[in-house]
Structure 1
Amino acid sequence: MSRTVLDLARAGDQRAFADLVEPHRRELRAHCYRMLGSLTDAEDLLQETLTAAWRGIAGFEGRSSLRTWLYRIATNRCLNAIRDGKRRVPPPEPVPPFAPPEPSAKGDVTWFQPFPDALLDGTPGPAARYELRESVELAFVAAVQRLPPRQAAVLLLCDVLGYSTAEAADMISVGATSAKGLLQRARASAGPRRETGPTPGSDAERDLARRFAEAYGSGDVDGVVALLSDDAWLAMPPAPHEYHGHEAIAGFLRASWSAHATVELVPTRANGAPAFACFHVREGEAKVPAGVVVLTLAGERVGGVTRFLVGLGLGGIPLPAV
């Protein structure tokens, strides 16, 4: 890091400050997303982090790296937001235009939003991009949301970002022994990672996503179910309803599709996985945005379908088709 640029930033040069923090913007956004589960909230907290950094840069003494200093600010801003109730406030539960079957379970992370892979594409190096995509995988981020906030923070700082427990303890102002305990409990609660699917971007992944889109878009319930793993699930944030297993998912899809126009899926990527911008299509009418579908792949099957019941604009950031 150029001392000249840092000195200029300390002296109040906004362009120098922007040059310092810009390389970290995308990974800080992803960190806030992992902490909060909502891209909208993550954007807000990213801006709060950068504002706090700008106000505090004159006092930055360089005893840690700039990156560590920024992560300290971002983590504590997220913890404050959670503590103050500024997030985890789900939007109103949508009222479906049909009578849904009884759900298998009620989800508790209804504020969840998808994270477009396009927001990771400026990260330097393919290895860094791959690690970031893995760290925003839906099941992992959902598991983090269920942890007590300080457990979540230590888990992310240590197991995702690679900080030691002593460094994580210092960043969130707890003792080293407390940080070790928080990390142990977080790992036990989060549980093992689920089986992963084909390599991202591989022919196998593209083929599975294509077959899903064809079956889903044509209203072929049996075709969708044939692609699911035995323990597959379907969720629809911000609605809490979840459907587990082939029979429950098939029942919901039949009820849902009987009430809607033809569905068109436009491929994209989110949370390191195949995803689709979803539109309702009626002959002679404009396409109506109807949410975002993100797949969770398990082996050669689809292990989970998350249909986010939102439009394409997420925090002002679209999910672009590819």
Structure 2
Amino acid sequence: MSTQMRLEELSEPAFTGLAERHRRELHVHCYRMLGSFEDAEDTVQETFLRAWRRRETFEGRSTFRAWLYRIATNACLDLLAKARPEPASGGEVLWLQPYPDRLLDELPAADAEAPEALAVARETIELAYLIAVQHLAPRPRAVLILRDVLGWPAKDVAELLGDSVNSVNSALQRARAGMREHLPAERQDWTGGEESPETLDLVRRYTEASVTTNIPVLASMVRDDIRSAMPPTPGLYVGRDTVVKYWVESGFEGMTGLRAVPTTANRQPAIAYYHWRKSEGAYLPLTMDVLRVTGGAIAEIYTFHADRFPRFGLPERLPAEGTE
């Protein structure tokens, strides 16, 4: 698609088919900008609508893909200006939602010969990154994602935002400083790649202890500086003693009738929990834990409501044990 005329000549179904090829990567881009799976979904739809209505503005100076990214970024900035004029603060992101790995697998295959690109793609979808980036003001956030994640030249970012290259470079430096302030200190040791056998074993033991609500065992597997939250419910719990106290006071200890199904989110291990409901004769969705493991211990636990289960392709219910 190299000329304006050819784009204008497309029928709406043909245009939609062309745009749909980029849906997943645009969705992930909007998700990084917004931190919410559902908001990203709405923004991609808005992007496609704007692109169709403004198709005559495509002049062929950039690729069709880059043109869509420009529209998507502006749609995100418009949503943020309207719905979230202030960035996150205090380490909490109440609108945070997890992203299923099964959908991340739909992204265009990265170049296997570019390990740095693979690392960036994985690292910048983790919840720790999403939380930190939501603490940035919208325009520096856009600059950071376009420059450091997508690798756009400063002049292209400046053109998109209507700024000078100097302004973009300045915003990028401020954004990087903000990220260093909000990212966990040990995250600089991130190494990427598949989960190690040690990590998989830790997650297995954590799952078993969670199902049996064995708080002492759970406490032995978390870091001293563990961080835990349950968006959109307010409350960020930091430190082993604080988190354990919350577990006890919330009534988790002694809870029975739990089952667990392993899954993955944001390229991190996750566990979906189901709770026995006698009236239904089945285990029904309860919550999902997404874990970050570092140094052989659990550094973060983010718990999400059961309304996330359908996006992960998880069962609506589990039958009584022994009846599968």
TM-score interval w.r.t. the shorter chain?
A: 0.7 to 0.9
| Aligned alpha-carbon RMSD (Å) | 2.8
1:53 aligns to what? 51
Q: Which residue, 282, 297, 304 being the options, matches 1:301?
A: 297
- Which position in structure 1 is the counterpart of 2:318? none
Name the CA distance, whole Å, in 2 between partners of 1:188 and 1:41.
26
Q: Relative to structure 1, is the Cα distance of residues 11 and 31 closer, same or farther in structure 2, using a 3 angstrom cutoff?
A: same
Question: Which structure 1 segments of 5+ residues have no match?
Answer: 91-104
- Once the two structures are superposed, residues 45-83 of structure 1 have per-residue CA deviations (whole angstroms, 9 ceiling, x without a partner) of 010011111222233111011121111101111001111
Corresponding residue of 2:143: 154
Q: Residue 89 and residue 231 in structure 1: after superposition, are their counterparts in 2 closer, same or farther (change >3 A)?
A: closer
> What is the rounded CA distance, in whole Å, between the counterparts of 2:85 and 2:11 in structure 1?
33
Report the equivalent of 2:258: 263
In the alignment, which residue of structure 2 is the partner of 1:246? 240
Superimposed CA distance per residue, residues 135-155 of structure 1 (whole angstroms, 9 cap, x where no aligned partner) = 211010111111110010000
Instruction: Measure, in 2, the Cα distance between the counterparts of 1:125 and 1:241.
Output: 37
* Residue 72 (structure 2) aligns with: 74
Q: Quote the residue 2:219 is aligned against.
A: 225
Q: Quick check: 1:49–1:70 contact (8 Å CA) kept in 2?
A: yes
Is the counterpart of residue 278 in structure 1 residue 273 in structure 2?
A: yes
Q: Distance between the aligned counterparts of 1:132 and 1:197, measured in 2?
A: 13
Q: Deviation at 1:208?
A: 2.2
Partner of 2:127: 138
C-alpha deviation, 1:179, in angstroms: 0.7
In structure 2, C-alpha distance between the alignment counterparts of 1:302 and 1:276, rounded to whole Å: 13
2-structure distance, mates of 1:189, 1:86: 18
Helix, strand or coil: the match of 2:237? strand
Aligned pairs for 1:7-86 within 5 A? 9-85=7-83
TM norm structure 2: 0.84
Matched, 1:208 2:202: yes
Higher mean alpha-carbon deviation, 211-220 vs 72-81, is at: 211-220
164-173 or 177-186: which moved more? 164-173
Q: How does 1:50-199 map to 2 (within 5 A)?
A: 50-85=48-83, 108-125=92-109, 127=111, 131-191=120-180, 194=187, 195-196=189-190, 199=193
Q: What is the alpha-carbon distance in structure 2 between the residues aligned to residue 88 and residue 286 of structure 1? A: 43
More contact order relative to length (CA 8 Å, sep ≥ 6): 1
| Superposition deviation, residue 311 in structure 1 | 2.1
**Equivalent-residue separation in structure 2 for 1:198 and 1:224 (angstroms):** 25
Distance 1:180 1:26 in 2: 28
Which residue of structure 2 lines up, in the alignment, with residue 95 of structure 1? none
Aligned amino acid, residue 170 of structure 2: G
CA–CA distance in 2 between the matches of 1:9 and 1:203? Answer: 50
Mapped to 2, the partners of 1:76 and 1:160 lie a distance apart of 17
> In the aligned structure 2, how far is the partner of 1:111 from the partner of 1:269?
19
| In structure 1, C-alpha distance between the alignment counterparts of 2:46 and 2:87, rounded to whole Å | 19
Q: Is the CA contact 1:277–1:319 (under 8 Å) kept in the aligned structure 2?
A: no
Q: Which residue of the partner structure matches residue 321 of structure 2?
A: none
Q: Contact 1:292/1:311 (CA < 8 Å) preserved in 2?
A: no
User: Closer, same or farther in 2 for the Cα pair 1:218/1:250, shift >3 Å?
Assistant: same
Tell me if the contact between 2:35 and 2:130 (Cα under 8 Å) persists in the aligned partners. Answer: yes
Distance in 1 separating the partners of 2:49 and 2:254: 47
Confirm or deny: 8 A CA contact 1:233 1:303 kept in the other structure. Answer: yes
Corresponding position of 1:97:
none
Task: Show structure 2 runs of 5+ residues with no match.
Answer: 112-116, 316-324
Q: 1:139 to 1:272 in 2, by over 3 A?
A: same
Q: How many residues align?
A: 303
Distance 1:209 1:178 in 2: 44
